[in-house]
């Protein structure tokens, strides 16, 4: 698997993963990736069949993917975990600490030189950051449009106000019912 290259390049992740030998984790990015993998005796990640029972499941929201690639802390907070939390936390911590850009830059520098490799990686980082910021801006604009201009979504406060209005209406109906009962009893 390509991820094993990065693990071996850094060295220390394989040592930390050896403790979890034989453990299976399921990575899920809805609509994009569904992958079950296992830690082998060398601390590497290998594929397993889908029938295997996963020890932990790590679910990544698709919209957080650019932020994860840019290693933004906010994106890592959006990861949800079920199953063995300790195992998942170790995998997430390793992902936070591996500097993929440095690995790519070092490999590129052997082919095209240090300066060109640095500029290519730096440009790709800026491009990824620009795309992430644009995605954030567009998603915020859509949420604002759907809540303010075209109420496709509702704000939490609006829902609470609606619930309170219904409760007030129910209370007023009960009061009216009591008055009607009092009037009908007095007329009888």
pLDDT digits (tens, 9 = 90+) for 74-116: 888 889 999 989 999 999 999 888 877 777 777 788 888 888 8
pTM over 0.75: no
Q: Are 39 and 21 in contact (CB under 8 A)?
A: yes
pLDDT digits (tens, 9 = 90+) for 53-79: 889 999 998 878 777 877 788 888 889
Residue 151 pLDDT more than 80? no
Per-residue confidence (pLDDT) for residue 170, from 0 to 100? 93
Residue spans per domain, the chain: 2-98, 154-188
Mean pLDDT taken over the chain: 85
Which of the four pLDDT bands, split at 50, 70 and 90, describes residue 1? Answer: low
Which distant-in-sequence residues (6+ apart) come within 8 Å of 52 by Cβ? 24, 36, 38
Alpha carbon distance 35, 33 (integer Å): 6
Residue 128 pLDDT more than 70? yes
- As given in the structure block, the two tokens for residue 44 are 């590497």
CATH label, 2-98, candidates 3.30.70.260, 3.30.930.20, 1.10.760.10, 3.30.1050.10: 3.30.1050.10
Other Cβ atoms less than 10 A from the Cβ of 33: the count is 11
Per-residue confidence (pLDDT) for residue 38, from 0 to 100? 92
Sheet containing strand 80-83, strands side by side = 45-47, 33-39, 24-29, 56-59, 80-83
Write the DSSP string, 30-46.
Answer: TTTEEEEEEE-TTS-EE
């Amino acid at each position: 698997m390509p991820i094993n290259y990065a693990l071996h390049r850094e060295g220390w992740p394989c040592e930390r993963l050896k403790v979890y030998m034989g453990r299976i984790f399921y990575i899920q990015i809805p609509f994009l990736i569904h992958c079950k993998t296992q830690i082998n005796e060398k601390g590497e990640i290998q594929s397993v069949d889908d029938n295997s029972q996963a020890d932990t499941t790590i679910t990544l929201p698709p919209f957080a993917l650019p932020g994860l690639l840019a290693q933004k802390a906010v994106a890592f907070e959006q990861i949800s975990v079920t199953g063995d939390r300790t195992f998942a936390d170790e995998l997430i911590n390793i992902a936070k600490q591996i500097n993929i850009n440095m690995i790519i830059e070092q490999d590129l520098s052997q082919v095209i030189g240090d300066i060109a490799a640095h500029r290519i990686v730096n440009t790709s980082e800026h491009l990824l950051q620009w795309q992430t910021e644009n995605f954030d801006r567009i998603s915020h604009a859509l949420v604002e449009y759907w809540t303010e201009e075209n109420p496709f979504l509702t704000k939490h406060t609006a829902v609470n106000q609606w619930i309170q209005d219904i409760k007030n209406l129910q209370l007023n109906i009960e009061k009216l019912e009591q008055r009607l009962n009092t009037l009908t009893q007095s007329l009888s």
